[in-house]
Structure 1
Amino acid sequence: MKLSAAILSATAIGLSAVQVANAQQTQPACSSVYTRKELLSLTASEWSLYKSILTAMQRDGWFAWFSYLHNTWFGSIHGQSQFFPFHRRFVYEWEKTGKRYNSAFAQPYWDEMRDYRTPASSQVLTSNWVGGNGQGTNRCVQNGLQAGWTMTYPNSHCFSRSFSNNGNPTSWYSPEYIESVIQRSADMTAFRPGIEYSLHGIVHLNMGGDMAQRYSPNDWIFMLHHANLDRLWWQWQSGHNHMWTMDGPNSDGNAISINSNIAYFNEPIRNVMQLGYGQMCFQYSSNPIRRRNLDASTTQKISAALPQDVLSEWFPDTAKSPAAAVATVDSAVAASGKPIPYPGTLTDDWISKQHLDRAAVRRVEADARSFVDAMKKAKYNSPH
Structure 2
Amino acid sequence: MKLTSILSAAAVGLSAIGLVDAQQNQPACSSIYTRKELLSLTSTEWNLYKAILSAMQRDGWFQWFAYLHTAWFGQIHGNSQFFPFHRRFVYEWERVGKQYNSGFAQPYWDEMRDYRAPATSQVLTSNWLGGNGQGANMCVQNGNQAGWTMTYPSSHCFSRNFRNNGNMNTWYSPEYINSFVQRSANMADFRPGIEFSLHGIVHLDVGGDMSQRNSPNDWIFMLHHTNIDRLWWQWQMNGHLWAMDGPNYDGSAISLDSNMPYFSEPIRSVMQLGYGQMCYQYASNPIRRRDMDASTESRLVSKLPKDVLAEWFPQTAKSPIAEITPSAELIANNSGKEIPYPGKIPMEWVQAHGLKISEAKHAEEDARRFVDAMKKAGYKSLH
- Matched with 1:129 is 128
- Matched with 1:55 is 54
- Matched with 1:241 is 239
Tell me if the contact between 2:36 and 2:107 (Cα under 8 Å) persists in the aligned partners: yes
Deviations 1:316-359 (A, max 9, x none): 00111132022169999951210000000011232123221112
Q: Return closer, same or farther for 1:321/1:20 CA change in 2, 3 Å cut-off.
A: farther
Tell me if the contact between 1:301 and 1:333 (Cα under 8 Å) persists in the aligned partners: no
Q: Return closer, same or farther for 1:167/1:236 CA change in 2, 3 Å cut-off.
A: same
Count of residues in correspondence between the two structures: 360
- Matched with 2:312 is 314
Q: Which has the higher helix share?
A: 1
TM-score, length-scaled by structure 2: 0.91
Calculate the aligned-residue CA RMSD, in Å: 1.8
Q: Return closer, same or farther for 1:294/1:214 CA change in 2, 3 Å cut-off.
A: farther
Identity rate, percent:
69
Structure 1's unaligned 5+ residue stretches are: 1-17, 288-292
The question of 1:324 aligning with 2:322 is answered yes
Deviations 1:130-187 (A, max 9, x none): 1100000000000001000000000000000000000001100000000111000010
- Matched with 1:257 is 255
Determine the C-alpha separation between the residues in 1 that align with 2:308 and 2:325. Answer: 15
Tell me if the contact between 1:163 and 1:206 (Cα under 8 Å) persists in the aligned partners: yes
- Matched with 2:14 is none
Q: 1:70-81 residue pairs with structure 2 within 5 A?
A: 70-81=69-80
Q: Would you identify which runs of 4 or more consecutive aligned residues in structure 1 move more than 6 Å?
A: 18-21, 329-333
Deviations 1:46-98 (A, max 9, x none): 00000000000000000000000000000000001000000000000000000
Deviations 1:106-134 (A, max 9, x none): 00000000000000000000000011000
- Given residue 250 of structure 1, which amino acid in structure 2 is its aligned partner? N
- Matched with 1:110 is 109
The question of 1:143 aligning with 2:135 is answered no
Determine the C-alpha separation between the residues in 2 that align with 1:120 and 1:295. Answer: 24
Tell me if the contact between 2:181 and 2:190 (Cα under 8 Å) persists in the aligned partners: yes
Secondary structure, counterpart of 1:164 in structure 2: coil
Deviation at 1:22, TM superposition (A): 1.9
Structure 2's unaligned 5+ residue stretches are: 1-16, 286-291
Tell me if the contact between 1:38 and 1:109 (Cα under 8 Å) persists in the aligned partners: yes
Q: 1:250-289 residue pairs with structure 2 within 5 A?
A: 250-286=248-284
Determine the C-alpha separation between the residues in 2 that align with 1:283 and 1:331. Answer: 36
Secondary structure, counterpart of 2:348 in structure 1: helix
Deviating more after overlay: 321-330 vs 246-255:
321-330
Tell me if the contact between 2:300 and 2:331 (Cα under 8 Å) persists in the aligned partners: no
- Matched with 1:32 is 31
Determine the C-alpha separation between the residues in 1 that align with 2:352 and 2:218. Answer: 18
Secondary structure, counterpart of 1:335 in structure 2: coil
Q: Return closer, same or farther for 1:241/1:332 CA change in 2, 3 Å cut-off.
A: closer
- Given residue 273 of structure 1, which amino acid in structure 2 is its aligned partner? M
Deviations 1:291-337 (A, max 9, x none): xx971111101111x10000010000011113202216999995121
Secondary structure, counterpart of 2:228 in structure 1: helix
Higher relative contact order (CA 8 A, sep 6+): 1
